[in-house]
Structure 1
Amino acid sequence: MKKKIFIPLLLAVVILFVGACGKTDGNTQQSANQQQDGSYTLKIHMVISEQDPVYLGYAEFKKGVEARTNGKVKVELYPNGVLGSDEDLLQQAMLGGNVAVNSDAGRLGVWVPEIGILLAPYLTDSVEEMQKLVKSDLVKKWTDKLAKEKGLTVLSFNYYTGERHFVTKKPITKPEDLQGLKIRTPGSPVWQETVKAFGATPVALPWTETYPALEQGVIDGAEAQHPATYSARLYEVAKYITKTGHIQLWNCLVVGTKWFEQLPKEYQQILLEESLKAGDFTTNKLLSTAKELENNMTAAGAQISEIDKEPFKKLADAVYTKLNYQELRQEVNKVLGK
């Protein structure tokens, strides 16, 4: 009798187990990203510090998203690269992880080459022109391609971090002064070719290694925007800052497409809108504090110089030829009405 009862019970357990497994398989992504209370958590990775205008922009993004979703989408900020490398976090995002990355056109241009032109030297003549470009349908076409082909969704591309200048151990007044110098720059082609066009030798190093590399003489300089130079205190080991303004650096907030598409449509729209607001906040914050940063670095011993940019602009044309950006440049100029 006990045996007859045991067999049906065993079968019932097996059926429940199989059913449960089937249900779990069908909702693997949802269970991985949605909490039991129906909320979601997004972790934003960045290598910048808490003082950087971009970090302050992401703090605004966090505030806006959490308020408008009534806490159903929670945003956690992780500055100073504590989560790992940009590349590793972008891979996690591609696989559906609940991470976002503060990125730029140089890194994304590796996957969608058109995006790389946003970091080409002297592409636009003003912040206003670049704002128009990064919010245009042309750039959206490129980022849509990134989402479709690589699984990375750009929430917005309007986080302005400043003009890139040379930070060196010797004064620079003209391109010839860069001849033979080893200059730290990111490893993507548009950065590398820009430094080469000016006559220097590009050295790809993680940003966190730039200060010790300058201190130890591994490199002769770097190229960076004021907030990054100031927060990393590069002026302590390379006091000459030459305002070439050769690249306008605009960051973007990137999430994994798989994770993003699991969100309710309403939440997706909120993230897009709040990222755009936060980008504009960042841009205005940077523009209002740029002079203060210069004053602080000058007071600490930095020598900041204005120079004639025209010789640099002429050499920069070689970058567009080298990377086959001529036609793309025409498309950009069309957007800008040039």
Structure 2
Amino acid sequence: MGFMSRSARAAVCGLVLATVTGGSVFAADYTLNINTALTTSDPLYKGLEDLKKNVEARSEGKLAIRLFPGSQLGKDEDVLEQARAGAGNAVVVDGGRLAVFVNDFGVLSGPYLASGYEGIRKVVTSPLMDEWAKKLHDGAQLQILSFNWWQGERHLLTNKPIKVPADLSGIRMRTPGAPVWTETVKAMGATPAPMAWADVYSALQTQVIDAVEAQDPASYGSRLYEVTKYLTKTGHFNLITGLVTSAAWFDALPPDLQIILKEESLKSGDVASHGTEAALADIEAKMTAAGMTIDEIDTTPFKEATAGVYEKLGYSDLKKQVDAILAQ
């Protein structure tokens, strides 16, 4: 397992956390800290609360889960590194960020890959995903618990109307820093400006950036309707994310707790994803009521503009495999 800090050793050994389950107090043998950039109002966070409740009950308090919204444990990339070092930390993360460890994951964040949750769920519960997960475990010391945490399709938030890719010329748009994200934003016509999600509101307010692309629950949770005027429904990314933790920490769990954690992660991912589906119309209604203009457009020009991203990043063959799974 290599060198490990005192905090990481404590996480692996699962030191002391009291958990209330069914009215009784148990001393947890293991503790998993889950970090997310999302707020507590996000439907996905409700899925994490569901996971916490069910894992603690089913394990009879042996495995405790602590939730850290608003990136309290650090940026996603930092938490991944903590996990790689053996800490009992997990993070809700997209395939683009995992592509630095196993390149294949990047295809999950490609433009217009799938429509809606049910389509992309076929891919992330397939044998192809199992192959990638093993590579990630063995090569990067990271363990996927489940990858079916759907956060919605991502749209453009700007201060001017957008109809076609040419309208994005000269616009500095925040996006995560992974290549598949930045190349897509470039192909759409904007200038990518990678930065942490927590910095987006102030960056828009001070005009450090001109625009952002994001899914509705995150946009609403971060009150981006206060600093942008238009939401253009491009749906360019179908944001599927996974719950990823330390391989060393996970491997040190008793087999029964490993099973509980993976099974409940998959179940709660479905809860979170269906909750997101159910919330989208209401979220857009609230943003409209707050003064934002929401535009439905013909996305064909954006699909055509971004079609070359897969080939540019070397994902052409992998895209064919994914398309075959989606066609099943």
State the TM-score, normalized to the length of structure 2: 0.92
Contact 1:30 1:262 in 2 (8 A): no
Give 1:35 shift.
3.3
1:129 aligns with 2:119: yes
1:160 aligns with 2:140: no
CA RMSD of aligned residues (A): 1.5
Give 1:54 shift.
1.3
1:172 aligns with 2:146: no
What SS class does the counterpart of residue 307 from structure 2 fall into?
helix
The amino acid of 1:239's aligned partner reads K
Give 1:125 shift.
3.2
The amino acid of 2:168's aligned partner reads L
What SS class does the counterpart of residue 148 from structure 1 fall into?
helix
1:22-171 mapped onto 2 (5 Å cutoff)? 32-35=12-15, 39-171=29-161
Larger Rg: 1
Give 1:92 shift.
1.1
Moved over 3 A (4+): 28-32, 35-38
1:281 aligns with 2:268: no
Note closer, same or farther for the CA distance 1:160–1:264 as it changes in structure 2 (3 Å cut): same
The amino acid of 2:179's aligned partner reads P
The residue aligned with 2:207 is 217
What SS class does the counterpart of residue 48 from structure 1 fall into?
coil
Deviations 1:38-93 (A, max 9, x none): 61111111111100111111100001100110000000001111122222211111
Note closer, same or farther for the CA distance 1:236–1:261 as it changes in structure 2 (3 Å cut): same
What SS class does the counterpart of residue 308 from structure 1 fall into?
coil
What SS class does the counterpart of residue 281 from structure 1 fall into?
helix
Structure 1 distance, partners of 2:191, 2:13, is 44
Question: Unaligned stretches of 5+ in structure 2?
Answer: 1-7, 17-26
Deviations 1:208-237 (A, max 9, x none): 111111111111100000001001111111
Contact 2:11 2:88 in 1 (8 A): no
1:326 to 296, 316, 322: 316
Give 1:34 shift.
2.9
Contact 1:242 1:306 in 2 (8 A): yes
Contact 2:173 2:209 in 1 (8 A): yes
Give 1:29 shift.
5.2
Give 1:32 shift.
4.7
Question: Unaligned stretches of 5+ in structure 1?
Answer: 1-27
Structure 2 distance, partners of 1:299, 1:30, is 48
Give 1:321 shift.
1.6
Normalized per residue, the structure richer in helix is 1
State the TM-score, normalized to the length of structure 1: 0.89
What SS class does the counterpart of residue 297 from structure 1 fall into?
helix
Structure 1 distance, partners of 2:252, 2:219, is 38
Structure 2 distance, partners of 1:265, 1:32, is 15
Question: Quick one: percent identity of the two aligned structures?
Answer: 46
Structure 2 distance, partners of 1:152, 1:77, is 19
The amino acid of 1:211's aligned partner reads Y
Alignment: residue pair count: 311
